[in-house]
Structure 1
């Protein structure tokens, strides 16, 4: 689902944008990272890494988070 936590691969700017948008929407919903992890079927560690911009999430992971947060996947990457 994501890298091993080592150096980030892919587009760091996109990963940062996704992380900022995930955190923004999660906080709008007053959800913890644990709640988002549960709702999206991901681990808390993965959610945290995405929000911090350390992860390079796959399209499937982006879709799972978007569904859980009730936003289009394009909103997360925009």
Structure 2
């Protein structure tokens, strides 16, 4: 194998590296120029008492269901 520093191939490696860097910089510039940022509307959620009551009812129902039926049998000993 030949040493690229002695045979003059180092110019090709440097040219390849520089071309990759230039392409990356061009893509960065292109994406930053053509990227339109739209303004986002702030959404406010209403805090109704009715919605919190319905969540409480659902939690009570789900807790009752889990106590009635056990799908898995627990081990007598914890390892």
Normalising by the residue count of structure 2, what TM-score does the alignment of the two structures yield?
0.26
Structure possessing the higher radius of gyration over alpha carbons: 2
Higher-RCO chain (CA-CA 8 Å, sequence separation at least 6):
1
